[in-house]
């Protein structure tokens, strides 16, 4: 694969002035690939190509688009192992977990939009008004590095299904799997200009896309900081912005629940992907009756997880040196703020001198006002906070400017549901409920605007037109 090219208008082309970026493997700290960072001129070309393609792609029938998406799904499956390897080498998830965690779900998400193309044909009637749907236009899809293919598929599926054309910008560190998506589009003969790939930096490509007059929608996933910049840059051209941003999600471990199950669920949820999951339940709110048991069980479970990159490792390195430093700084802050270190800390994990590894870390005696309980750490760090009663648990859960996800372990479903209804979060999981790619995904408050996945994800790419007869 030649990562020095861009994919624009159905062709692999050279950048007009872009520079190569070293992709560093976080397990070895050395560069293993170079990828082009596109220029503003490249963005212009990509947008023009998507605008041209929109004229015909937006007029295709829903069944034609369904066939194209199905072809793309089938072609992408051929590259499952290559994409799993790229993602593992680029952001650190151990290879033995990469295909399942980072590739299979995303392809399923794309698959889920094959049949959803038909939703575009539904016409709602209210009195004399007939409400038609049309695709919004050219969309910029900007993704982060933590689940790079997942974020792309959650955007590409509905965009293609609705009849939109796209300009894709992956995160600098994790551009490689997107080359396989472009390759697959090329191999199936997707009409030229429907899918355009311009890897690049947030400051150049991200800003140019957000400001571009030729783009009608930016679907952005990343930090709240960058999401605000995108919205600010997009405002003068009145384009739509969907923001999937950060989180500081609570796990409530309530009186009378299955404490062992809650702890296992919570530790695995946070430690998978080395804590670099937007929905990670990194803020545990524990009923005072269970606090000692939870601390002991969490310590045992955490210490049983192997840190490394081998076939039996669960916790890989974090994505890069800067992220490692940021997380260490948070751990230092936690110690300074007076939280108690249950396990982990500032030292390197034993035997791992190379690679951006950290010890999975748990703090107890955390107060919800502490920095470590308020800021998204985005690493393998859990804060344990004690509460007295359900009312206080709900108050603490909502005492954050984020509102992405929450999990509850309660003595029964009815108790869990009663708590869930009072939590300000886009997604709530009760007693270990599994993740469902058909349900709307997204956050409240500063965790974002809009939803991805399912019917609601498609809705974001649609303009409604009321024709009065
Ligand atoms: P980031 O904000 O630094 O970067 C995300 C993407 O935005 C990258 O492609 C980056 O190049 C681009 N970008 C940066 N500045 C930009 C700008 N000014 N204009 C346009 N694009 C710009 O985030 P990250 O560190 O890559 O990802 C981690 C963050 O993403 C965490 O906060 C995490 O919670 C969040 N996230 C949220 C979800 C969700 O669905 N809510 C999912 C995954 C990750």
The per-residue pLDDT for 398 is 98
Query: SS3 for 362?
Result: strand
What's the gap in Å between 224 CA and the centre of ligand 1? 8
Nearest CA to ligand 1 atom 16: 202
> Which of 230, 157, 144, 231 has the alpha carbon at shortest distance from 195?
157
The per-residue pLDDT for 53 is 99
CB atoms < 10 A from the CB of 295, how many?
21
- pLDDT tier at 424 (50, 70, 90 boundaries)? very high
Terminal CA-to-CA distance of the chain, rounded, Å? 54
The per-residue pLDDT for 380 is 98
Question: What are the backbone angles phi and psi of residue 206, rounded to the nearest 5°?
Answer: -60, -50
Mean pLDDT of 179-186: 98
Of 257, 278, 376, 383, the catalytic one is 278
Distances (CA, A) of 288 to 218, 256, 335, 444: 45, 11, 22, 28
- pLDDT tier at 373 (50, 70, 90 boundaries)? very high
What's the gap in Å between 226 CA and the centre of ligand 1? 6
The answer to whether 451 and 457 are in contact (CB under 8 A) is yes
Catalytic residue flag (residue 100): no
Distances (CA, A) of 37 to 50, 181, 266, 279: 19, 17, 38, 29
Q: Average model confidence (pLDDT) for the chain?
A: 98
What's the gap in Å between 299 CA and the centre of ligand 1? 31
Residue to mutate, 208, 226, 320, 435, ligand 1, most ligand atoms under 8 Å from C-beta: 226
- pLDDT tier at 428 (50, 70, 90 boundaries)? very high
pTM of the model: 0.97
230 Cα nearest atom in ligand 1: 19
The per-residue pLDDT for 399 is 98
Sign of CA dihedral 408, 412, 415, 420: positive
Q: Could you give the percent of the chain with pLDDT greater than 90?
A: 100
Catalytic residue flag (residue 278): yes
The per-residue pLDDT for 437 is 96
- For residue 236, count CB atoms less than 10 angstroms from its CB and return exposed for 0-12, middle for 13-18, buried for 19 or more: exposed
Give the CA dihedral 120, 122, 126, 131, nearest 10 degrees: 30
What's the gap in Å between 454 CA and the centre of ligand 1? 22
**Per-residue pLDDT reduced to its tens digit, 27-54:** 999 999 999 999 999 999 999 999 999 9
The per-residue pLDDT for 8 is 98
DSSP state of 452: B
DSSP per-residue string spanning 202-213: IIIIIHHHHH-T
Nearest CA to ligand 1 atom 10: 202
What's the gap in Å between 143 CA and the centre of ligand 1? 6
The per-residue pLDDT for 376 is 98
Identify the residues whose C-beta falls under 6 Å from ligand 1.
142-147, 151, 169, 171-172, 201-202, 206-207, 210, 221-223, 226, 229-230, 244-247, 278, 376, 378, 404, 443, 447-448
Residue to mutate, 144, 242, 244, ligand 1, most ligand atoms under 8 Å from C-beta: 144
**Per-residue pLDDT reduced to its tens digit, 298-334:** 999 999 999 999 999 999 999 999 999 999 999 999 9
The per-residue pLDDT for 190 is 98
The per-residue pLDDT for 377 is 98
- pLDDT tier at 136 (50, 70, 90 boundaries)? very high
443 Cα nearest atom in ligand 1: 41
């Amino acid at each position: 694969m030649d990562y020095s090219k861009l994919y624009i208008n159905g062709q692999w082309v050279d950048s007009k002035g872009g520079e190569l970026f070293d992709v560093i493997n976080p397990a070895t700290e050395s560069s293993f690939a170079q990828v082009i960072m596109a220029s503003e001129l490249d963005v212009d070309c990509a947008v023009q190509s998507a605008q041209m393609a929109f004229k015909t792609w937006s007029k295709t029938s829903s069944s034609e688009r369904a066939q194209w998406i199905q072809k793309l799904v089938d072609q992408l499956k051929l590259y499952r192992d290559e994409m799993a390897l790229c993602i593992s080498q680029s952001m650190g998830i151990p290879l033995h977990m990469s295909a399942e965690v980072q590739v299979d779900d995303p392809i399923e998400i794309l698959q889920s939009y094959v049949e959803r193309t038909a939703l575009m044909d539904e016409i709602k009637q209210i009195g004399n008004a007939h409400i038609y749907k049309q695709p919004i236009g050219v969309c910029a899809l900007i993704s982060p590095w933590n689940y790079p293919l997942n974020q792309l598929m959650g955007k590409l599926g509905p965009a293609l299904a609705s009849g939109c054309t796209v300009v894709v910008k992956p995160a600098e560190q994790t551009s490689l799997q997107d080359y396989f998506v472009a390759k697959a589009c090329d191999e199936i003969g997707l009409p030229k200009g429907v899918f355009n790939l311009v890897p690049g930096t947030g400051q150049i490509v991200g800003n140019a896309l957000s400001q571009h007059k030729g783009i009608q929608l930016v679907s952005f996933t990343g930090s709240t900081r960058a999401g605000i910049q995108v919205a600010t840059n997009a405002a003068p051209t009145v384009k739509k912005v969907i923001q999937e941003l950060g989180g500081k999600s609570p796990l409530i471990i309530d009186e009378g629940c299955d404490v062992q199950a809650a702890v296992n669920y919570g530790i695995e949820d946070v430690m998978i992907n080395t804590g670099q999951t937007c929905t990670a339940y990194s803020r545990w709110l524990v009923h005072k009756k269970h606090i000692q048991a939870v601390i002991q069980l969490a310590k045992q479970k955490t210490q049983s997880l192997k840190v490394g990159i081998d076939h039996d490792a669960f916790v890989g390195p974090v994505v890069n040196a800067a992220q490692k430093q940021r997380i260490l700084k948070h751990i230092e802050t936690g110690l300074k703020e007076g939280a108690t270190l249950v396990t982990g800390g500032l030292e390197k994990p034993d035997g791992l001198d190379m690679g951006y590894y950290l010890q999975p870390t748990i703090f107890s005696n955390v107060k919800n006002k502490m920095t470590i309980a308020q800021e998204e750490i985005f690493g393998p760090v859990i804060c344990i906070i004690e509460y007295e009663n359900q009312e206080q648990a709900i108050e603490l859960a909502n005492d954050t400017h984020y509102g992405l996800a929450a999990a509850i372990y309660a003595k029964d479903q009815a108790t869990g549901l009663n708590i869930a209804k009072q939590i300000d979060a886009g997604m709530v999981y009760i007693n270990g409920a599994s993740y469902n790619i058909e349900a709307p995904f997204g956050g409240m408050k500063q965790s974002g605007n809009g939803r991805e996945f399912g019917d609601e994800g498609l809705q974001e790419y649609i303009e409604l037109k009321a024709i009065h007869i």
